[in-house]
Amino acid sequence: MTNWLNKIKTDKFIKRFCMQKGYWLYLLKQTLIFVKLKKQTL
């Protein structure tokens, strides 16, 4: 029972971590695109 609970906890943690990581990657990508556009206009 405890192993099962621990598994759920770690799964939740991993999911949250992946979501945050994905969000940061998305932000980074947006920033890179923005910088590229800025360079083109200059």
pLDDT tens digits for range 2-41: 788 888 888 998 899 888 999 999 999 999 999 999 888 7
Gap between the Cα atoms of 7 and 1, Å rounded = 10
Domain that holds residue 22: 1-42
Domain count, the chain: 1
Q: Is the pLDDT of residue 42 over 80?
A: no
Gap between the Cα atoms of 15 and 10, Å rounded = 8
DSSP 8-class letter at 35? H
Quick one: tokens of 8?
A: 């759920």
Gap between the Cα atoms of 34 and 42, Å rounded = 12
